[in-house]
Every structure is written in C-alpha cells, then in structure tokens.
A and B are shown apart, each in its own frame.
Chain A
Amino acid sequence: QSVLTQPPSVSAAPGQKVTISCSGSSSNIGNNYVSWYQQLPGMVPKLLIYGNNNRPSGIPDRFSGSKSGTSATLGITGLQTGDEADYYCGTWDSSLSAMLFGGGTKLTVL
C-alpha cells in the first residue's frame, strides 16, 4: 500500500475533463514539490508536471497540476483516447529520505 494515495481508476468521455487526486502527509506532499507521470501502455513513464504545476516543454496545456496542503491534483481537459494511460504522482518524503510514488491511477476514456 502506497504512502501516497491515488484512486485506482477514473474515467470520462472524450472531450471531457478529469481530475486525479494524490493524498499524502506533511512529510511528503505537504512540504515538497509534486510531480506527475504518464505511462502509456507498454511504454516508459513520461514526466507531465513538475514543481506542482509546471509543464515540461512539449506537454500540452490540457494537462495541469495543483497542490493544496497535503494533497495534489492532476487535471486533464479535452480528453482524447490517446490519454488512456496510468498516471502516477511522485514527491520526496523528508522523513523517509526517499522518493515516493502514488499507487497509480488508470484513466479510461470511454
């Protein structure tokens, strides 16, 4: 069981918006930046969001991140079938001196 809690799955229709939550504690999300990763089926993980809400070059602005207290949220608008993937949040845990990943959320675009 992961220290960072994500819903196992979310779904929405093409063109709609979806949010994925990531819940932690003061030792991790509460005091460190959060990153988000997309892993398409059979592919290598890809950095989507870093520093809570920043997108690396090449990531469309349909993807957004936010953080409040000990929780973070990934938002995806204008859903496309190509967005179907597993999404992971990640952050450093200052107490464990370790990076943590959430358990992952499978996005289905119906």
Chain B
Amino acid sequence: EVQLVQSGGGLVKPGGSLRLSCAASGFTFNTYSMDWVRQAPGKGLEWLSSISSTSSYIYYADSVKGRFTISRDNAKNSLYLQMNSLRVEDTAVYFCARDPGITGTTELDYWGQGTLVTVPS
C-alpha cells in the first residue's frame, strides 16, 4: 500500500524557517518524481515544487522561488521542503504528492495527509 506520511508542520514567526518531511513507503520511491502542494485556509490548491526521481530536475512556483527548497533522500525514502523567510501568506496545509509520470505531464496520484503551517501576523 502506497503511503506518504508527513511531519514537521507547526507555528512559526514571520521570517522564520521550517522543514517539512514526507516519508514514503509501499512503492519504489527512487523511481518517482515528487511534488509539494499547499492549500491556504478556505482556498484552492497551489502547486509549489517538483523534484525528479534523481533530483536532476527541480521546479518551483514563483511564489516560493528563492525561499523554499525541495530535496529528497532516496536512501531514506523521504522528501523534504525547507521553508525559509516565511510570510503570513504562507499559512496553509502543505501536502506532499507522488507524480507517477504516466503522461509526461504532472499528475499527482497519491497524497500525504497534509500538515498545517501557521505564520501568525
């Protein structure tokens, strides 16, 4: 069974940093691209970042470019999102998700349970 178990959310002051983790199991992690998506309270989905299976290709949304860093450790079957210079508008539930790469276009077939990051004003 594919599982993505997230950890690392919480309350952080503006300008602070936080690292999210996503532990994968039930599939061959090192053959899949992985993504981060967030959802602000009461809002829609916002894609943040994608990393290819070998970390060769990394992409970011403009809203987090230069502040967030995606990474993975295939030996530990884990995905990470390092978030720096956090802003009030970064308050959201953050999801990790698997990209099976079936079509060559990003589609996200399994999602983590989500973790809440709160940056108070």
A residues near B, CB below 8 A? Answer: 2, 32-35, 37, 39, 44-47, 50-51, 54, 56, 86, 88, 90-92, 96-104
Partner of A44, one of B47, B103, B104, B114: B114
B45 located at the interface, meaning its Cβ lies under 8 Å from any Cβ of chain A in the complex: yes
B residues near A, CB below 8 A? Answer: 35, 37, 44-47, 50, 59-62, 95, 102-109, 111-114
Partner of A35, one of B46, B107, B113: B107
User: Is B109 a contact of A50 with CB atoms below 8 Å?
Assistant: yes
CA–CA, A88 and B80, complex, Å? 25
Q: List 29 A-B contacts (CB under 8 A).
A: A32-B105, A33-B105, A33-B107, A35-B105, A35-B107, A45-B37, A45-B95, A45-B108, A45-B111, A46-B111, A47-B107, A47-B108, A50-B107, A51-B105, A56-B109, A88-B45, A90-B45, A90-B108, A91-B105, A91-B106, A92-B106, A98-B47, A100-B47, A101-B44, A101-B46, A101-B47, A102-B44, A104-B44, A104-B45
User: Is B108 a contact of A92 with CB atoms below 8 Å?
Assistant: no
CA–CA, A52 and B17, complex, Å? 38
CA–CA, A33 and B44, complex, Å? 20
User: Is A51 a contact of B102 with CB atoms below 8 Å?
Assistant: yes
User: Is B61 a contact of A37 with CB atoms below 8 Å?
Assistant: no
Partner of A99, one of B35, B62, B95: B35
Residues of A within 8 Å of B44, CB to CB, are 2, 86, 88, 101-104
User: Is A90 a contact of B106 with CB atoms below 8 Å?
Assistant: yes
User: Is A47 a contact of B109 with CB atoms below 8 Å?
Assistant: yes
CA–CA, A82 and B70, complex, Å? 35
Residues of B within 8 Å of A92, CB to CB, are 105-106
